[in-house]
Structures are given as C-alpha cells and as structure tokens.
C-alpha cells in the first residue's frame, strides 16, 4: 500500500491511466502547488508551466469525479519568501481541486531543491539541523530506478537501503542494518554518523508548520472570510513571527 503519491503534475496527463489503474494501492493523491499566480509558480517550479499545471489538474479532477473510487486529495504548499505574499489565495485559485481544509502549509526547509534556495527564501532566520528527522522512521520512498530511500529529497541515492528488486535474504538483511544504523544516528544525535545529505539538512522550528496549518484551518473553517483578509493578517504578523514574538502574534491573531 502506498500512503500517498506526490506530484508536481507537469506530466500528469501522460500517466492518468496508470494512476487510476493503481488507485486501490494509493491512499491519496498529493499535488504540490506552492503558488497562486503564474509568475510565482514558474519562478519556484523552474521549467514548469502554469497553464500545463491547470490543464492537467482539471483533466485529473474530471476523471476523478467520474471514478467509482475517487482519490482523496491533500494539497502540499511550501511557505517561503517567494510566495508568502499570496499564500492565502492558493486554496481559492485551486478550489476546483479540493476544499481549503485539504490544503497544508509548511515552511521551506532543506527538502527544497538545495540549501542555496533554502537560505535565500527562508522567512525565519534562525535555523536548526534537522535531527532527529522523522523521515527515516516513516514510509520508505521509491526512487526511479527502484531503490528504497529514507528521504523524499534523496535525488542521488545517498540514503538508500535496498531495492524493490532485492530477493536474496542476506542482501535484505544487510540493507535493514544500514537503515537501522541511519535511524540510530538520528536518535543519538551523532552528526558525524549521519549520511552527508542529513548532515547538511536544515529547517526552522517545526512548531511553526503546525502554527501555519492551524491558522489556515481556523480561518477557512471558522472565520470563513475572504482570502484577502487572511493575507492581510499574514503580512501584518510576519515581523512578529520572524522575531519570535508570539505574544504580539497572538494579539494580532485576535484581530483576525
């Protein structure tokens, strides 16, 4: 069983038949969007095209609506300096895809394309080494050549521990030992024992992700105002958020 299938949806039209063929083993579909406008989307998703994104998502939505077993949708969005000014409008622009309650928001971290992008677009200056990371203890990720990886950003196979093609029990045991060693290194906090990819992986206080997602849920489920109202709050509260002044942030929240 596959927990979710994540996609930037640029090639989705080529794989719709395959996607729905394996609906029974995919729990939900998770598009990554990150923007509410063409300019921002094509800046963040280098090589991607805004029109192709919508065309493919509309085709998927039509097919999904006609399916006897439609995919649940959860939309992933990264919060960064590139898109902060339009975050509140993302659920509105893609309202044909899912209700606002299915849109999640998390601050950019080293799981972005590379650390250069992370340090350039982070909104929170204070960073932390991402250890212990939760990814090695969650689902395995399958790379294009069939390798299992402990990280969704393992583009070059640095945190792999076997392959879907492995049949030999001794080989499987060796790969399990490598997986467990990486997990132990995360738990112990011994940075020198981590794979290089993990040694250079940074993020911000993970509680901020919960704060952002809770804010959006509160606004769209309880306040139920126009997205411009939420965006105004996001803009006004950013200095307090960046300064870690949560007392001031809470006072502003009461005005939402």
CA distance 54 to 94: 9
pTM for the full predicted model: 0.85
The residues spanned by each domain of the chain are: 2-130+201-253
CA distance 177 to 64: 41
CA distance 142 to 154: 10
CB atoms within 10 A of CB 45: 19
Please list, in sequence order, all residues whose beta carbon lies within 8 angstroms of the beta carbon of residue 169, skipping any fewer than 6 positions away: none
Identify each DSSP E strand in the chain by its residue range.
2-7, 26-31, 75-79, 103-107, 128-129, 141-142, 147-149, 160-163, 202-203
What does DSSP say about strands 2-7 and 26-31: parallel, antiparallel, or unpaired?
parallel
DSSP 8-state assignment for residue 5 = E
The H or E element that residue 135 is part of is: none
From first to last of the 256 residues of the chain, give the pLDDT tens digit: 778 888 999 999 999 999 999 999 999 999 999 999 999 999 999 899 999 999 999 999 999 999 999 999 999 899 999 999 999 999 999 999 999 999 999 998 887 777 888 889 999 888 777 767 888 888 788 887 888 899 888 888 888 888 888 777 776 788 888 899 999 998 887 888 888 888 888 888 888 889 999 999 999 999 999 999 999 999 999 999 999 999 999 999 999 9
Q: CB-side exposure of 89: number of CA atoms within 13 Å?
A: 14
């Amino acid at each position: 069983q596959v927990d979710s299938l994540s996609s930037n949806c640029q090639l989705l039209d080529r794989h719709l038949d395959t996607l729905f063929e394996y609906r029974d083993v995919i729990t939900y579909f998770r598009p990554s969007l990150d923007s509410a406008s063409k300019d921002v989307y094509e800046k963040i998703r280098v090589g991607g095209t805004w029109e192709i994104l919508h065309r493919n998502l509309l085709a998927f939505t039509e097919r999904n609506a006609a399916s006897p077993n439609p995919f649940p949708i959860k939309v992933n969005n990264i919060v960064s300096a590139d898109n902060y000014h339009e975050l509140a409008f993302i659920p509105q622009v893609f309202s044909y895809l899912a209700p606002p309650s299915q849109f999640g928001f998390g601050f950019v971290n080293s799981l972005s394309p590379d650390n250069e992008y992370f340090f350039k677009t982070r909104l929170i200056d204070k960073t932390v080494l991402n250890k212990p990371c939760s990814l090695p203890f969650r689902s395995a990720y399958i790379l294009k050549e069939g390798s299992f990886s402990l990280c969704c950003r393992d583009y070059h196979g640095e945190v792999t521990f076997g392959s879907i093609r492995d049949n030999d029990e001794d080989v499987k045991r060796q790969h399990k030992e490598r997986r467990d060693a990486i997990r132990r290194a995360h738990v112990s906090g011994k940075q020198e024992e981590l794979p290089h990819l993990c040694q250079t992986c940074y993020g911000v206080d993970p509680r901020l992700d919960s704060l952002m997602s809770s804010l959006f849920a509160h606004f769209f489920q309880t306040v139920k105002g126009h997205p411009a109202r939420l965006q105004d709050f996001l803009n006004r509260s950013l200095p307090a958020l960046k300064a870690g002044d949560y007392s001031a942030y809470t006072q502003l929240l009461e005005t939402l």
